Each structure stands twice: as structure tokens, then as C-alpha cells.
Amino acid sequence: MKKLVLVLMLIVTLASCGKKEEKKEYITYDTDGGEKLEPQLITDGFKLLVPDKEGYVFIGWKDDEGNYVSENDIKSSIHLTAEYSNEKFHFTEGYLIIINITDSGTNYLNLIRGKESEKIVPTIDIDYYRLILDGKPYEYGTEIVLKGTRKLVIYS
């Protein structure tokens, strides 16, 4: 009986030695006065959360070195700080803020103001490799409906 117990203990010990506990990686958010966001587990296909700060437009997330980051840049735990527009907006009209993000930083290119629900097609006069409208891919030439404040980010 003692041998059987020892053999079972040996089997359990060996089986548990082969398992490594997987380290979980998280994103922590500083929303700079915006709504509080809980830490986010990094998983396959995760999307960065978008905070709301009344009267301001969220531009993007910066890492501790001040660099803008996207989902593709994040491989391990990281702390991100929200970046908002410098201007406070009034939401009686529709707005489209056009922002250009390059390796050297962010530039505000244009603010298009129009009537709520107005449809526009913005022109882009710079070379770019990706367009993002409200956090989703945007195809150049597609109509945009002004609804509150929308944000078109140009990565050039």
C-alpha cells in the first residue's frame, strides 16, 4: 500500500512539474480626467479601450515615453495615458477632426464643422498608409456622417 501511495505521489509531482503557470499581461490606463477604465487583459485580437471625457475628443494612447501606441505595438504589460484634443467642443453641430500621426508626433490638420447628420467626404492631400475613423478602418472617398464629434486619424 505504501508503494502505491508513493507511486501516485510521484506521478502527481511529475505531472505538475511540467506545467508552467502562464503569465498574464495587462494594460493599465490613465484617462487624464476621463472616465475610469479598469486594467485590460492582453489577449489575441484585443482592442484598446476608448475613454470618454466630457467636451473633449480622445486622440489616442501614449506610452510612458510619450509615443503613440496601437494594438499592434503592445506585446507585454504596459501603462498608457490618454491624449485629448486641446480644445473643448460644443456638440450642437457635427464635427470631424482630422489628425495626422507620424513618427515625430501628432499634428491637427483640420476641423470640419457642419450640421448634425450632414454627409461629407474629406480630402486628404498627404501620403498615408492607414486611415482610422472612430477607431475603425476607413476607406478613402467613403461618406462620413457628422454625428457629434468624429475623429479621422491619418497615419503617414
C-alpha cell at 47: 482592442
Question: Is the separation of the CB atoms in 114 and 121 below 8 Å?
Answer: no
DSSP letters spanning the chain: -HHHHHHHHHHHHHHHHT--PPPP-EEEEE-TTS-----EE--TT--------TT--EEEEE-TTS-EE-GGG--S-EEEEEEE-SS---TTSEEEEEEEEETTEEEEEEEEEE-TT-EE-----S--SEEEETTEE--TT--EE--SEEEEEEE-
**If phi over 0 gives left and psi between -120 and 50 gives alpha, with beta otherwise, what is residue 135?**
left
pTM of the predicted model, to two decimals? 0.51
pLDDT at 25 (0 to 100): 93
Distance of alpha carbon 98 from alpha carbon 130, whole angstroms: 13
pLDDT at 116 (0 to 100): 76
CB hemisphere CA count around 90 (13 angstroms): 2
Distance of alpha carbon 42 from alpha carbon 39, whole angstroms: 10
Distance of alpha carbon 62 from alpha carbon 96, whole angstroms: 22
What parts of the chain have a pLDDT lower than 50? 5-7, 90-92
Phi and psi dihedrals of 114, rounded to 5?
Answer: -160, -175
